[in-house]
Amino acid sequence: MGRVRVGVLISGRGSNLQTLIQAAQAPDYPAEIAYVIANVADAKGLDHAERAGIPACVISHKDFADRAAFDAALDAALRKAKIEIVCLAGFMRLLGKKFTEDWRDRVLNIHPSLLPAFPGLDTHRKAIEAGVKISGCTVHLVRPELDDGPILIQAAVPVAEDDTPETLAARVLEVEHRCYPLALRLLAAGAIRVTGKTTRHGATAPKGSLLNPGGTG
């Protein structure tokens, strides 16, 4: 059985893209990063795709009259590349209702907070100003609403009294790089069951993972 073909949408440096590329190099990983699309021509993440020999293209949102036309172009490119799952990795555009419904339960996003807390931008500043003691990241299935959808995985990190948005961001990014490959693994392996706004893991998580840190099962 072949691996699931994954398309990754980026806007910037692509650190999570690189993490997914590295994870997919494992022989037992159920997905391959098969295509990368950037909406910004100078997105640094395109360099990761080039080094890995992954086909990539730029589809600039500025070339389209509205969101629907841009989404249609993304959809056409993904389908032409025979993509089955889409991962948003620092993709700074909202996807419209038609796109998210057409790809329902096949689009993943990672957000640098413990949703539903602190959706949108400036999450680390918001967390510090709110005085929370933990923050973290969330991998979720995408819905039309901003940073909404069934949650697959979350991981928490402490918020220190002397944290700045930059220091907290660095700590959260470390767990992002662990969570995203695991969430994609579970979805690509068919180990996620979605019921309404909730998800259940239908198979045992890999040993040593965030879901199974003790390596049992």
* Confidence at residue 156, expressed as pLDDT on a 0 to 100 scale: 97
Q: Taking the domain 1-103, which CATH number applies?
A: 3.40.50.170
Domain residues of the chain, as ranges?
1-103, 109-211
| Fold agreement (1-103, 109-211) | yes
Percent of the chain residues past pLDDT 90, beyond the cut = 90
Residue 213 pLDDT level (bands cut at 50, 70, 90) = very low
* Confidence at residue 201, expressed as pLDDT on a 0 to 100 scale: 85
129 contacts 117 by C-beta, under 8 angstroms: no
pLDDT in tens, 130-157: 999 999 999 999 999 999 999 999 999 9
Is 61 one of the catalytic residues?
no
Residue 217 pLDDT level (bands cut at 50, 70, 90) = very low
* Confidence at residue 2, expressed as pLDDT on a 0 to 100 scale: 85
Judged against a pLDDT cut of 70, whether residue 207 lies above it is answered with no
Q: What is the mean pLDDT of residues 176-185?
A: 97
CATH topology (fold) of 109-211: Rossmann fold (3.40.50)
* Confidence at residue 1, expressed as pLDDT on a 0 to 100 scale: 59
- What residues contact 38, with CB distance under 8 A and at least 6 apart? 9, 10, 11, 45, 46, 56, 57, 58, 59
The pTM of this model reads 0.90
Q: At CA 40, angle to CA 36 and CA 42, rounded to 5?
A: 95
Q: Which residue has the higher pLDDT, 212 or 103?
A: 103
Place of tokens 């220190």: 160
pLDDT in tens, 58-112: 999 999 999 999 999 999 999 999 999 999 999 999 999 999 999 999 999 999 9
Q: What is the mean pLDDT of residues 112-136?
A: 97
Secondary structure string (H, E, C) spanning the chain: CCCEEEEEEECCCCHHHHHHHHHCCCCCCCEEEEEEEECCCCCCHHHHHHHHCCCEEECCHHHCCCHHHHHHHHHHHHHHCCCCEEEEECCCCCCCHHHHHHCCCCEEEEECCCCCCCCCCCHHHHHHHHCCCEEEEEEEECCCCCCCCCEEEEEEEECCCCCCHHHHHHHHHHHHHHHHHHHHHHHHCCCEEEECCEEEECCCCCCCCCCCCCCCC
Return the closest-CA partner of residue 61 out of 44, 38, 45: 38
Residue 62's region, left for phi above 0, alpha for psi from -120 to 50, else beta, is alpha
Place of tokens 């697959």: 152
Choosing from 48, 111, 140, 177, the catalytic residue is: 111
Q: b/e per residue, 115-132, with b = 16+ CB within 10 A?
A: beebeeeebbebbbeeeb
Q: What is the mean pLDDT of residues 101-126?
A: 97
